Amino acid sequence: MTTAAVVYRSSSGTTRQLAEEIGEHLRAHGIDARVQSVGEAQPAALAEADLVLLGCWTSGLFVVAQHPDEPWLAFVRDLPPLARSRVGLFTTYKLATGSMFARMRAALDTRAPHVDLELKSRGGHLTDGGRAALDRFAGIPAASA
Ligand SMILES: Cc1cc2nc3c(=O)[nH]c(=O)nc-3n(C[C@H](O)[C@H](O)[C@H](O)COP(=O)(O)O)c2cc1C
């Protein structure tokens, strides 16, 4: 069975909501998905997962300087190389994600040289487009999506 680790950092609950919806969608398609906050997850355990999805709320000056917050960065610094995992990123935001994904990728650095999904949501819900992108990332056939 394919395994997925969905790890989020949320300040007021929106990104947690998105993480839960991602986890539910993956489980509905037979993937053994575990959803945890950065405070709950063990960084070393992520290297065992087939799919790793890392999410953080967008922090910045609304039009510029978007970045993940320090607890997310601290978690990522503790990650081992995710050599056998397919890695995706997700965020929630209000106006613009700007430099958010670039900053998340930069923080991952060589731990995950390839990021195969960048998913964003304004309200913390999976949109049809987001679900389709998640399906492609997770290898869920379009016919059963
Ligand atoms: C201090 C602060 C800075 C923010 N900066 C941005 C920003 O630069 N761009 C944006 O689109 N949203 C920004 N937001 C909105 C949040 O990214 C958005 O509300 C997010 O969904 C919150 O997620 P959470 O409920 O998981 O904490 C900011 C919110 C706060 C509190």
Interatomic CA distance for residues 47 and 57, integer angstroms:
23
For the chain, give every domain's residue range.
3-144
What is the SS3 assignment for 101? Answer: helix
pLDDT (0 to 100) of residue 145: 46
CB of 121 sitting under 6 A from ligand 1: no
CB of 61 sitting under 6 A from ligand 1: yes
pLDDT (0 to 100) of residue 63: 85
pLDDT (0 to 100) of residue 96: 95
Beta bridge partners of 9: 56
- Give the CATH superfamily of 3-144: Flavodoxin domain (3.40.50.360)
Tens of pLDDT, residues 40-77: 999 999 999 999 999 999 999 888 899 999 999 999 99
Rounded to 10 degrees, the C-alpha dihedral 84/2/21/67 comes to: 0
Residues in contact with 85: Cβ distance below 8 Å, sequence separation at least 6, in sequence order = 46, 47, 49, 50, 51, 52, 112
Nearest atom in ligand 1 to the alpha carbon of residue 65 is 8
Q: Distance, CA 101 to ligand 1 centroid (Å)?
A: 14
Q: Distance, CA 12 to ligand 1 centroid (Å)?
A: 9
pLDDT (0 to 100) of residue 143: 61
pTM over 0.75: yes
Residues of the chain with pLDDT under 70: 143-145
Beta bridge partners of 34: 5
Q: Ligand 1: which of 7, 10, 11 to mutate, judged by most atoms within 8 Å of the beta carbon?
A: 11
